[in-house]
Amino acid sequence: MAQSSPEAIAAGPEDRGATALTSTAGNADHGPHVPRPREGCEEIVWHPPANVESRPRVLRWTCECRSRVYYLVVGGGRAHIRRSDGPGPHRETVRMRYHHIERLWLKILRGQAR
């Protein structure tokens, strides 16, 4: 299965008939491009890596041609978003339920959260 297009992701799970996040097998070097943050966008609180999952799995990612790359990660019954700003340590959101993290992921893809 190829990675979903940004339009399909932006449509939201209810528009696609999905009930949960699914794994993708797209090209790891190319995902959707994240637009510049919109004025008044939601500020995400980023934390140091917690590394609490025994087997974290990256379901979705943004294009690695940008200096900042986002990864949607699941594991241990929860999900979070990882932000990588290059060679330094990455940052993460708190762990949350799948439907909450998918909403946050869509906000990032739309430039509504940063």
The list of the chain residues with pLDDT below 50 reads: 1-26
Residue 15 falls within a domain, yes or no?
yes
pLDDT of residue 17: 42
- The residue to which tokens 């799948």 are assigned: 98
Q: Which domain holds residue 66?
A: 6-110
Residue 1 falls within a domain, yes or no?
no
Overall number of domains in the chain? 1
Residue 80 falls within a domain, yes or no?
yes
pLDDT of residue 103: 96
**Quick check: pTM over 0.85?**
no
Residue 88 falls within a domain, yes or no?
yes
Residue 70 falls within a domain, yes or no?
yes
